[in-house]
Amino acid sequence: MALDPEKQISSLWKALQGSQEANRRTFYQMRQVAIEFAGPDANPFDIGVKAWEIIGKDMGKSNLPRMNLLKGEEGLMMNIARAYQGLWTTNGAVVKIEKGKSPNEIFIKWERCPWPTSAKEFGASMKEDLLGCDRYLQTFLDEVNAFL
């Protein structure tokens, strides 16, 4: 039986999209649960942003065991940036990496958060979505920088 590369790629693409959808929906479903448990005086914005912060911290720590200093600090920083970019590109975000002026300077830029449609479906504002992405990146980098 001959392998049809186009069919295989299409199949993998559909599976990736299904996985992205499951991630998005789970995040916002758990956000909704937290809001309901917190009670009527809870601020959904603060809960959503705090969730992004917790996830960023966890993801930063989970990258620590995989860090390799054998390529030097610059190589390590680029590997971290690429891992971060790959993770979020897989989830539907548009993340760019730019080298800075010095060898130890790399910029990670969100150009599109991964889940604006899901945020809207679950009543989260775009402000919350954007600040959540920023908070995730900051706490992720705080954990990584503590290692360096």
How would DSSP label each residue in 108-119?
EEEEE-S-HHHH
pLDDT of amino acid 1: 67
pLDDT of amino acid 54: 94
pLDDT of amino acid 102: 87
Selection from 118, 114, 115, 108 nearest residue 138 by Cα: 108
What would the two tokens of residue 125 be?
A: 């504002």
> Residue type for 15, please?
A
pLDDT of amino acid 95: 92
pLDDT of amino acid 33: 94
* pLDDT digits 0-9 by tens, 56-99: 999 888 877 667 777 777 888 888 888 889 888 888 889 999 99
Q: Report if residue 2 sits inside a domain.
A: no
Contact, 85 vs 11, CB < 8 A? no
pLDDT of amino acid 65: 65
- For the chain, the domain total comes to 1
Q: Report if residue 96 sits inside a domain.
A: yes
**Distance, CA of 75 to CA of 41 (rounded, Å):** 47
Contact, 139 vs 49, CB < 8 A? no
Q: Report if residue 143 sits inside a domain.
A: yes
**Distance, CA of 16 to CA of 89 (rounded, Å):** 11
Q: Report if residue 3 sits inside a domain.
A: no
Q: Which regions of the chain are under pLDDT 70?
A: 1, 65-66
As a whole number, the mean pLDDT across the chain is 86
Residue keyed to tokens 């009543």: 123
Q: Supply the range of the domain harboring residue 132.
A: 8-147
